[in-house]
């Protein structure tokens, strides 16, 4: 049986990936910087830190699911260390969660992924690249204030985003990690249906029963607004850039590759929004 390990297993996507693998009969290994945080997943856990990747933690692993780090200080460097550890440990294949459009993406956020994809190619290891689009949950993290003040801020204008739920992307991880036929593939993954900021606001209004409007700001103004909400300036700038780029199609994809991979339609944006509003 193929032994699969998942990095970042205590994180939001990692947890869902572990669950998706278990649902398909696998017994994955959960890799986390703090294994105690993954103890509730019901699988073997091992300590694994992107910044100090130890090949010993990957002993016996056939397929490594490398979920991209959420540390923006040296993300590509951390990924290179994880790739080197995988090669030293004799891992057979890496499944990496990249960004939609890869080297063709204009987003600042893409650079780390471009560098990581290059490092994977240079490593000589077998790979499967999952170029993930936006998670719908990226839009639902601050719905409380949006409903309270009746406004969702952004910088995307009328641009449309083909988002899908984290669970959809997690299923793609499980499908591709379990089947060697996906070796050497690069998949552009996104939701079946694209939506604008106005569509998002309408879905929030429908779910909450309160008026909510989308207000698109110039990129610099949106970055300042995010800083005002307490985000560090550098991170606010990255998010504002991502939103502005989405207004120019950076997060639009109508290939339906994700739904074909997972064998079902992707989760509608309105469903994810409704669940998030219900949970408030």
Angle between helix axes 233-246 and 219-228 (nearest 10 degrees) is 140
Give the model's pLDDT for residue 72: 81
Q: Read off φ and ψ for residue 48, nearest 5 degrees.
A: -150, 120
If you ran DSSP here, which 8-state letter would residue 161 be given? B
Distance in angstroms (rounded) separating the CA atoms of residues 44 and 21: 13
Give the model's pLDDT for residue 71: 85
Give the model's pLDDT for residue 99: 98
Distance in angstroms (rounded) separating the CA atoms of residues 76 and 71: 10
End-to-end CA separation in angstroms for the chain: 42
- Joined tokens for residue 190: 């996104």
Picking from 243, 251, 256, the residue whose alpha carbon sits closest to that of residue 99 is 251
Give the model's pLDDT for residue 193: 97
If you ran DSSP here, which 8-state letter would residue 67 be given? P
Are 99 and 69 spatial neighbours (Cβ–Cβ below 8 Å)? no
Query: How far, in Å, are 98, 154, 166, 213, 280 from residue 58 at the CA level?
Result: 21, 41, 25, 48, 39
Q: pLDDT under 70 in the chain at which residues?
A: none
Distance in angstroms (rounded) separating the CA atoms of residues 172 and 168: 7
Give the model's pLDDT for residue 130: 98
Picking from 23, 199, 188, the residue whose alpha carbon sits closest to that of residue 110 is 188
Are 186 and 129 spatial neighbours (Cβ–Cβ below 8 Å)? yes
Are 144 and 68 spatial neighbours (Cβ–Cβ below 8 Å)? no
Domain 4-135+164-190+254-267 has CATH 3.40.630.10: no
């Amino acid at each position: 049986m193929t032994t699969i390990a998942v990095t970042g297993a205590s994180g939001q996507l990692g947890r869902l990936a572990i669950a998706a693998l278990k649902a398909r009969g696998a017994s994955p290994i959960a890799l986390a910087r703090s294994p105690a945080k993954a103890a509730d997943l019901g699988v073997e856990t091992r300590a694994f830190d992107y910044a100090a990747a130890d090949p010993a933690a990957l002993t016996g692993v056939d397929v490594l699911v490398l979920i991209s780090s959420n540390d923006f200080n040296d993300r590509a460097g951390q990924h290179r260390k994880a790739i080197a550890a995988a090669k030293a440990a004799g891992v057979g294949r890496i499944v990496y969660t990249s960004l939609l459009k890869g080297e063709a993406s204009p987003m600042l956020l893409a650079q780390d992924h471009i560098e990581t994809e290059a490092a994977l190619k240079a490593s000589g290891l077998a790979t499967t690249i999952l170029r993930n689009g936006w998670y719908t949950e990226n839009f639902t993290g601050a719905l409380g204030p949006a409903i309270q003040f009746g406004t969702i801020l952004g910088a995307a204008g009328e641009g449309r985003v083909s988002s899908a739920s984290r669970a959809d992307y997690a299923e793609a991880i499980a499908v591709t990690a379990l089947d060697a036929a996906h070796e050497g593939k690069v998949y552009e993954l996104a939701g079946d249906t694209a939506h604008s900021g106005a569509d998002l606001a309408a879905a929030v209004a429908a779910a909450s029963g309160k008026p909510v409007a989308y207000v698109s700001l110039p990129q610099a103004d949106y970055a300042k607004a995010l800083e005002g909400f307490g985000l560090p300036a550098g991170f606010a700038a990255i998010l504002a850039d991502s939103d502005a780029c989405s207004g120019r199609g950076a997060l639009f994809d109508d290939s339906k590759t994700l739904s074909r991979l997972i064998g079902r339609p992707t989760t509608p944006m309105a469903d994810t929004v409704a669940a998030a509003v219900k949970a408030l």
